[in-house]
Amino acid sequence: MNMKLFGNKFKCDQCKSEFSKNEDMINHARHEHHRDIVKCTECGMEFVHEADRLHHVRKEHEEKLAKRSHKSEHKHETESPSPQDEVDAHTRNFSDNF
């Protein structure tokens, strides 16, 4: 069973039932087709297929992480550290003590 978005509808590819929300389609798959549902460990979002979960992780979580680390690579040394940079530095130093 694959989650497909047609307009504003989520469609079950096993029985072609349509749902307006992803959560409704997940519940349908779980109860009607006795499917095991996989969850994203980062945000808890549920998926019918592991491939859908992996795509979600790559798209939503790895891209955000890459943007954060890439952003710090282009900082100029003359800039004063941002509050987040100071927290990150403190966290690194604090965790080194354990």
For residue 5, pLDDT beyond 50? no
The third-level CATH classification (topology) of the domain covering 1-59 is Double Stranded RNA Binding Domain (3.30.160)
How, if at all, do strands 3-6 and 46-47 pair? unpaired
Selected residue with higher pLDDT from 6 and 15 = 15
Cβ atoms 77, 88 nearer than 8 A:
no
Please report, for the chain, the start and end positions of each structural domain, with discontinuous segments joined by +: 1-59
pLDDT in tens, 14-56: 888 999 998 999 999 988 988 888 999 989 999 888 898 999 9
Cβ atoms 3, 22 nearer than 8 A:
yes
pTM of the prediction? Answer: 0.49
Determine the residue type at 42: E
- Over the chain, what is the mean pLDDT? 78
Q: What is the pLDDT of residue 48?
A: 87
